[in-house]
Amino acid sequence: MDQDEKHPILAGLTALVAVAVAVGLVLGVVTLAATHVLGIGGKSSTSSSRNGASLYLPTPSPTDTPSDPLVTLSVDPSETSAPSDTPTSKPSKKKTKAPEKKITLQASQVSAAPMQLFDLSGIYPGGEGEILRLQRKTAGAGWEDFGIPDVAVSGGQFSTQVQTGRAGAQKFRMKDIDSGALSNVVTVTIG
């Protein structure tokens, strides 16, 4: 009697494992060849940086009339070729005034019941992506962090909801946690 005839399950498992290994090897070789042909992998990222920039942006130029946008992109066909390593014109030495970074805060209402939600919102020109922290004026300790999550500035604006049970005139302000810039003070009367 043959060995395979004594153990048909073992023979079937051996054949199944052999087929799985063969299929795995074939798929691995095909995947490796496809990634090489398509340029997916570690070597292709360095080759693109050696070939130069893949994105060309035309040079901005000031506009002539106040009703036009402040900057336009040139559409001169002679400028559509890839940029050279040497600049063709000197950069302008005009100093432009940076936008004033002033935090302006406002409350959605001037009075609220205890634990009633109200909105504090505002604008922060030039503060895109900055993180603001809400502070409240306390009688003895001065300004303290209010204890709600910090607020991110998006599109030059910010907003948060507040509720407090402390009665009386509550003064709030926002503080830029990086620069320390402070907003104006708003008062909401609770009670």
pLDDT at 183: 92
Contact between 160 and 119 under an 8 Å Cβ cutoff? The reply is: yes
Tens-place pLDDT, residues 28-38: 999 888 887 88
Highest mean pLDDT among 50-54, 92-96, 122-126: 122-126
- Residue 69's pLDDT band (cuts 50, 70, 90): low
pLDDT for 88 beyond 90: no
Angstrom distances, CA of residue 189 to CA of 63, 108, 145, 158, 172? 50, 12, 19, 22, 11
How confident is the model over 132-156, as a mean pLDDT? 90
CA 135 to chain centroid: 25
How is the chain split among helix, strand and coil, in percent rounded to 5? 25, 30, 45
pLDDT for 44 beyond 80: no
Percentage above 90 pLDDT, the chain: 44
DSSP three-state, residue 81: coil
How confident is the model over 110-136, as a mean pLDDT? 92
pLDDT for 41 beyond 90: no
Query: Using CA atoms, how far apart are residues 137 and 122, in angstroms rounded to an integer?
Result: 19
pLDDT for 80 beyond 90: no
pLDDT at 47: 44
Highest mean pLDDT among 52-61, 75-84, 180-189: 180-189
Mean pLDDT of the chain: 79
pLDDT at 57: 67
Q: Which residue in 96, 145, 98, 151 sits closest to 121, CA to CA?
A: 151
Tally of CB atoms within 10 A around 8: 9
DSSP three-state, residue 8: helix
